[in-house]
Amino acid sequence: MGPVGPRSKSTLIRPPIPPSAQPASAAWCHHRAATAWPGPSLAALRGRPLWNTRAMEVFDKRAATKLKDQLHGYFEYILYDVGVYGCQGCYGCQSCCCCCQGRCSFKCLNSGLFFASRYPIMDVAYHCYTNGKGTDGLASKGALFLKVQVGSTLQDQRIVGYITCTHLHALEDDSAVRCEQLDMLQDWLADFRKSTSSSSTANPEELVAFDIVCGDLNFDNCSSDDKLEQQHSLFTRYKDPCRLGPGEEKPWAIGTLLDTDGLNDEDVSTPDNLQKVLESEEGRREYLAFPTSKSPGACQKGRKDVLKGNGRRIDYMLYAEEGLCPDWKAEVEEFSFVTQLSGLTDHLPVAMRLMVSTGEEEA
């Protein structure tokens, strides 16, 4: 496998054990990997198979190594320690200094992105966002692009899928920075698909089954302060299973960011307890983070009348309906908010089961 990208590094683990499960589901997790089969609602599930998982904020190399060792028996391909280090040159002036116009160029942490799969990684690329600001710019946050092979046809055509993992700028009041990063992500993804495609209309060597974008985007679909991101063109290219439109969530969607004040409460100390709490509107109001407001009174009213206790959902799994093999269709069969990692993270992992139907199956 070639290099991940210019001035970048990563580690790919390939144990000799071949994959033993068929592609069934994909999961996005925050901080650590959740072994959960996706379902249509809250779930405290464990011990079910999945074919790939992604994690983030795995900045510490020792933690990454331990996580890799724990997942090694389940996934044949593991990619971790992805990022760049040291002085990278400032965005705009391209000089090798530590900071220019508030944009930090020195990277002391990797991207924190972590990917594990049962199926072969055919191509991979990583790009570091060039507009990081303040303390958030000290980490080499970026986007990890992967092409995996999940099967083949009787005619020896490869069945492949594209997965993009990312972690956007976290600082508040920086909507423009996040939108710039989403612009970069879309451009990089288009280049990645073009450079890794080996098919033509006349001679299709590969059949694209899915195209997924996932990660902590650090904005939600209900905060008035996040309107700019909510209307980004990414959501016209990729579909969000949890939203009806900009600023409007589906009734069953809940926030994925927990209120840190209650993380150690006994009521949410186990997966089953957290699931039980979050199934009630009162529990969600108490333990989920909600959008802030300059008017405290309006904020409280907004929680009751607008948000209905659902909280901030900043962790996403998006899928494309276009750009796949002709006559093939991707649909979400199950979507879950997983409570398995209660007490270990301030985010709720999310999981999705994506089913792909072909024209032959419908005929």
331 Ramachandran zone, left/alpha/beta (phi>0; psi -120 to 50) = beta
Is 347 annotated as catalytic? yes
Tokens describing residue 280 = 């009630």
Alpha carbons 191 and 213: distance in angstroms, whole number = 15
Query: Contact at 8 Å (CB) between 111 and 167?
Result: yes
Task: Report helix, strand or coil for 355.
Answer: strand
HSE of 134, CA atoms in CB hemisphere, 13 A: 8
Identify the CA nearest to 159 among candidates 205, 211, 214.
Answer: 205
Alpha carbons 230 and 244: distance in angstroms, whole number = 11
Alpha carbons 213 and 218: distance in angstroms, whole number = 14
How far is CA 277 from each of CA 260, 282, 309, rounded to the nearest angstrom? 15, 8, 12
DSSP H helical segments within the chain, as ranges?
61-71, 175-196, 227-230, 234-237, 271-278, 281-287, 296-302, 359-362
HSE of 4, CA atoms in CB hemisphere, 13 A: 23
User: Partners of 355 in the beta sheet?
Assistant: 331
Supply φ then ψ for residue 164, to 5 degrees.
-120, 125
Identify the CA nearest to 141 among candidates 92, 211, 88, 94.
Answer: 88
Q: What is the DSSP code string of 214-229?
A: EEE-S--SS-GGGHHH
CA 302 vs. chain centroid, Å, equals 28
- Identified catalytic residue from 31, 167, 232, 347: 347
Query: Contact at 8 Å (CB) between 144 and 115?
Result: yes
Identify the CA nearest to 159 among candidates 17, 280, 18, 324.
Answer: 324
Q: Which active-site residues does the annotation give?
A: 347
